[in-house]
């Protein structure tokens, strides 16, 4: 199993290019199931979750054509399908496989998708996806750990999400594009990844209004057609590199990002004393010349501070002066990284959904274990400032969502290597 070896204490300098957004590319790939024509995608990140989604589509006998593997450009065509099923083996490695449920039942009238089950960051049910599809007339049956959905044709409905759900909004949005009549989604997710998916669906002929707001109206059409789409930049990867610049007191130019998607992160980092300077379109310079100050943060749905940046921010807080209270409101049990960073010498108390960090504390290298995707990124950040050598086990988690993170960091002057 791969692990990272990091020699910490080096200031990062240089330019890093951000890849396409994994969480936008995944629903967009699933959306290709809605048409028999070709969907061409560009700026797809070369990460493991994308390969898993490509495997899942190929398992259904969709044609996924890519020049390289993992690809940055790909064409997906689903003329016919042989299995409308997402098997457990694939869903267990990637929860986002559930995004095939809506498109499959909308176009083929039947879908069988394994339930994702528990997950390292707390229980993550899909009850809201299921309730919405039922409201649209799907007959749902849960059997042997699988959700089976049937509908001759889905019907438009008024759907209020009791809780804001990103993939739930995406699943139902995709399903509604081919439903009969109008669907109105309220309390929908406003994440840029939902907007990117809607932009592709509109190019495919879907009738959608209210994109980017919490009320989305979709007028169903009988058929969608092919389209070409460039995936938006990954705001979480960009935020992670902004923190890499800040935590090492470096000077990094982050390119190919969308600063418009990074508002809450940029504001919080500035509150901590980090300088973030826009340098032309899609480029942000990050550097620190004075002291880093701690600041409280509460995770929220977009446009608030993303839960997917909480772990990385916690690593930064260990190097900032004073007390930072970090409150996680989206997921339970999302502080596994805290106990690992504690072992490196940080002063962190976890009380339920709050982590209280007192800084700054010098970190020293240790052998630590990555527990999930974003937790692994925070451990890498901690390793970059730790004295001596840090070994991080189970880095397969990081490969799910970061494209060549060790190469990108090495190019900025970090000493990090992947060892078998
Ligand atoms: C997506 C992102 C993930 C991010 C999360 C929150 C993808 C592939 N993943 O995950 O990186 O951390 O949004 O921004 O885009 N919930 C229910 N019932 C449901 C659905 C969700 O109770 O049917 C709850 C969840 O347990 C959680 C909250 O709603 O507490 C938000 O989850 P959700 O937005 O659905 O997360 P994902 O879409 O899985």
Check: CB of residue 92 under 8 Å from CB of residue 49: no
Spell out the alpha helix ranges (H) of 147-234.
166-177, 192-203
Q: From ligand 1's centre to the CA of 165, what distance in Å?
A: 5
Q: Is 166 in the pocket of ligand 1 (CB under 6 A)?
A: yes
- Give the nearest ligand 1 atom to 189 CA: 34
What secondary structure letter does DSSP report for 15? E
Q: Is 136 in the pocket of ligand 1 (CB under 6 A)?
A: no
Q: Is 133 in the pocket of ligand 1 (CB under 6 A)?
A: no
Q: Give every CB contact of residue 107 below 8 A, 6+ residues apart in sequence.
A: 33, 34, 35, 178
Q: Is 331 in the pocket of ligand 1 (CB under 6 A)?
A: yes
SS3 content of the chain, % helix, strand, coil (to 5): 35, 25, 40
Q: Is 168 in the pocket of ligand 1 (CB under 6 A)?
A: yes
The best mutation among 29, 101, 167, 313 to test binding of ligand 1, ranked by most ligand atoms within 8 Å of the C-beta, falls on 167
The CA distance from 228 to 306, in Å, is 29
- Return the pLDDT at 124: 74
Residue from 36, 32, 34, 54 nearest 45 by CA: 54
Check: CB of residue 53 under 8 Å from CB of residue 94: yes
Dihedral of CA atoms 393, 8, 12, 299 in degrees, nearest 10, equals: 50
The CA distance from 86 to 88, in Å, is 7
- Give the nearest ligand 1 atom to 330 CA: 30
Q: Which residue has the tokens 């300098």?
A: 13
Q: Give every CB contact of residue 206 below 8 A, 6+ residues apart in sequence.
A: 177, 198, 218, 221, 224
For 43-53, b/e burial (b = at least 16 CB within 10 A) is: bbbbbbbbbbb
Q: In what order do the strands lie in the sheet with 3-7?
A: 367-369, 389-393, 3-7, 415-419
Residues annotated as catalytic (active site), given as ranges: 119
- Give the nearest ligand 1 atom to 26 CA: 8
Backbone dihedral region for residue 113 (phi beyond 0: left; psi -120 to 50: alpha; all else: beta): beta
10-residue mean pLDDT profile of the chain (420 residues): values are 95 98 98 97 95 92 79 90 86 91 96 78 82 97 92 97 98 98 98 98 98 98 98 98 98 98 98 97 96 98 98 98 98 92 97 97 96 94 97 93 96 96
Q: From ligand 1's centre to the CA of 164, what distance in Å?
A: 8
Residue from 320, 350, 337 nearest 397 by CA: 337
User: CB neighbours (10 Å) of residue 279?
Assistant: 11
Collapsed DSSP state (helix, strand, coil) of residue 302: coil
- Return the pLDDT at 140: 96
Q: Is 23 in the pocket of ligand 1 (CB under 6 A)?
A: yes
Q: From ligand 1's centre to the CA of 96, what distance in Å?
A: 10
Check: CB of residue 56 under 8 Å from CB of residue 99: no
321 bridge partner residues? 293
Check: CB of residue 329 under 8 Å from CB of residue 298: yes
Check: CB of residue 334 under 8 Å from CB of residue 306: no
* pTM assigned to the model: 0.97
Q: Can you read off the two tokens belonging to residue 334? A: 């999302």
The CA distance from 44 to 375, in Å, is 23
């Amino acid at each position: 199993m791969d692990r990272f070896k990091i020699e910490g204490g080096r200031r990062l300098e240089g330019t890093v290019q951000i890849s396409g957004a994994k969480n936008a590319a995944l629903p967009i790939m699933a959306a290709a199931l809605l048409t028999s024509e070709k969907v061409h995608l560009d700026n797809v990140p070369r990460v493991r979750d994308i390969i898993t989604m490509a495997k899942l589509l190929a398992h259904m006998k969709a044609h996924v054509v890519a020049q390289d593997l993992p690809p940055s450009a790909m064409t997906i065509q689903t003329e016919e399908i042989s299995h409308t099923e997402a098997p457990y083996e694939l869903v267990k490695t990637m929860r986002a496989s559930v995004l095939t449920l809506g498109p499959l039942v909308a176009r083929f009238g039947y879908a069988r998708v394994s339930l994702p089950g528990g997950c390292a960051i707390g229980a993550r049910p899909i009850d809201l996806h299921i309730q919405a599809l039922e409201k649209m007339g799907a007959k749902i049956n849960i059997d042997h750990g699988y959700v089976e959905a049937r509908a001759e044709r889905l019907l438009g409905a008024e759907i209020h999400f009791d809780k804001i759900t990103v993939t739930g909004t995406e699943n139902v949005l995709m399903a509604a594009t081919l439903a009969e009549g109008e669907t109105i989604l309220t309390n929908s997710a406003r994440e840029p990844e939902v907007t990117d998916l809607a932009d592709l669906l509109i190019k495919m002929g879907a009738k959608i209004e209210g994109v980017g707001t919490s009320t989305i109206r979709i007028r169903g059409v009988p058929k969608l057609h092919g389209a070409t789409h460039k995936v938006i930049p990954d705001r979480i990867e960009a935020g992670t590199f902004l923190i890499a610049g800040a935590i090492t007191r470096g000077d990094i130019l982050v390119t190919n990002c969308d600063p418009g998607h990074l508002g809450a992160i940029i504001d919080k980092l500035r509150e901590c004393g980090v300088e973030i300077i826009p340098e032309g379109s899609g480029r942000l310079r990050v550097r620190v010349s004075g002291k880093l100050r701690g600041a409280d943060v509460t995770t929220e749905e977009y446009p608030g501070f993303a839960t997917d940046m909480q772990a990385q921010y916690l690593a930064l807080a260990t190097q900032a002066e004073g007390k930072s209270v970090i409150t996680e409101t989206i997921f339970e049990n999302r502080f596994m990284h805290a106990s690992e960073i504690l072992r490196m010498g940080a002063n962190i108390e976890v009380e339920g959904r709050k982590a209280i960090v007192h800084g700054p504390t010098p970190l020293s290298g240790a052998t630590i274990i990555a527990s999930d995707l974003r937790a692994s990124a925070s451990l890498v950040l901690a390793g970059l400032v730790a004295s001596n050598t840090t070994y991080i086990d189970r880095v397969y988690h990081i490969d799910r969502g970061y494209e060549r993170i060790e190469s990108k960091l090495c190019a900025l002057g970090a000493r990090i290597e992947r060892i078998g």
